Amino acid sequence: MAIKNVIFDLGKVLIDYDFDIFFGEIGYKPEERNLDEGLDPILDFESGKISKIEFLEQMKDVYNFSLSLEKFEIIWAEVFSEMENMLALARKVSENYKVFIFSNTDEIHFPYIWEKFPKLHFFNENLMLSYELNSVKPDKEIYQNAIEKFSLVPEESIFIDDRPINIKVAQEFGFDGIIHRDLETTNLELKKKLKI
């Protein structure tokens, strides 16, 4: 079956991030704290199960800081940077294929990213975002919801993600998959599979 759709993860594929910036803002050295400690509230927030306020309160409990919601939203979001070469590759792919973003993200991060990095806007409304789909990768539910949202045929679709488990589950649904490690490798893999 011919490929018609190319689906990109967001973090570490199109947009980079560094949460050491966040930890610095709340008063820690990078080696002192990590995101894994806050994984439960983070995943609940990314899957749309808790509100911004609930997320802030739970993060305060985990990391012992005191901030207003307004200030927290700013420092929680200001950790991202553009991966220009990958964005250029995705735009090139979009000339001949339908492109989508499929991402674990939250209602603070994604609106900030969308506003700060307008180079993403060629994806238009082709967005499959965890907080809107009420589940997170690699849960099977989010793949099902994403397929239904855009009536995707997995066998006509390639999914690019930096986490092997997310690709593994996608392949169980019938998607072709590329584990993103770097621009050169992903570009090479896409050239094997697509006309670009």
Instruction: Write out pLDDT tens, residues 163-174.
Output: 999 999 999 999
Confidence band of 56 (pLDDT split at 50, 70, 90)? very high
Q: d(Cα 124, Cα 114) in Å, to the nearest integer?
A: 10
Q: What pLDDT does 147 receive?
A: 98
Q: What is the average pLDDT across 130-153?
A: 98
Answer yes or no: is pLDDT of 1 > 90: no
Which 8-state DSSP code applies to residue 50? S
CATH of the domain at 109: 3.40.50.1000
Q: What pLDDT does 165 receive?
A: 98
Residues 48 and 105 grouped into a single domain: no
Q: d(Cα 64, Cα 179) in Å, to the nearest integer?
A: 36
Residues 69 and 161 grouped into a single domain: no
Residue where one domain finishes, among candidates 62, 77, 92: 77
Residues 156 and 181 grouped into a single domain: yes
Quote the domain boundaries for residue 132: 5-16+81-193
Residues 51 and 120 grouped into a single domain: no
Q: What pLDDT does 180 receive?
A: 98
Question: The whole model's pTM is what?
Answer: 0.97
Instruction: Write out pLDDT tens, residues 5-24.
Output: 999 999 999 999 999 999 99
Q: What pLDDT does 20 receive?
A: 96
How, if at all, do strands 80-82 and 15-17 pair? antiparallel
Instruction: Write out pLDDT tens, residues 19-45.
Output: 999 999 999 998 999 999 999 999 999
Which tokens belong to 112? 């900030």
Instruction: Write out pLDDT tens, residues 83-140.
Output: 999 999 999 999 999 999 999 999 999 999 999 999 999 999 999 999 999 999 999 9
Residues 9 and 35 grouped into a single domain: no
Residues 113 and 38 grouped into a single domain: no
Q: What pLDDT does 69 receive?
A: 98
Largest alpha-carbon pair distance within the chain?
Answer: 54
CA torsion through residues 78, 83, 88, 89, sign = negative
**Residues shown for the chain:** 196
Residues 100 and 187 grouped into a single domain: yes
Residues 130 and 186 grouped into a single domain: yes
Instruction: Say how many domains are in the chain.
Output: 2
Residues 165 and 105 grouped into a single domain: yes
Residues 11 and 93 grouped into a single domain: yes
Q: Which of 135, 160, 132, 153 is nearest to 14 (CA)?
A: 160
Residues 127 and 32 grouped into a single domain: no
Confidence band of 153 (pLDDT split at 50, 70, 90)? very high
Q: What pLDDT does 110 receive?
A: 98
Q: Are 149 and 133 in contact (CB under 8 A)?
A: yes
Residues 65 and 27 grouped into a single domain: yes
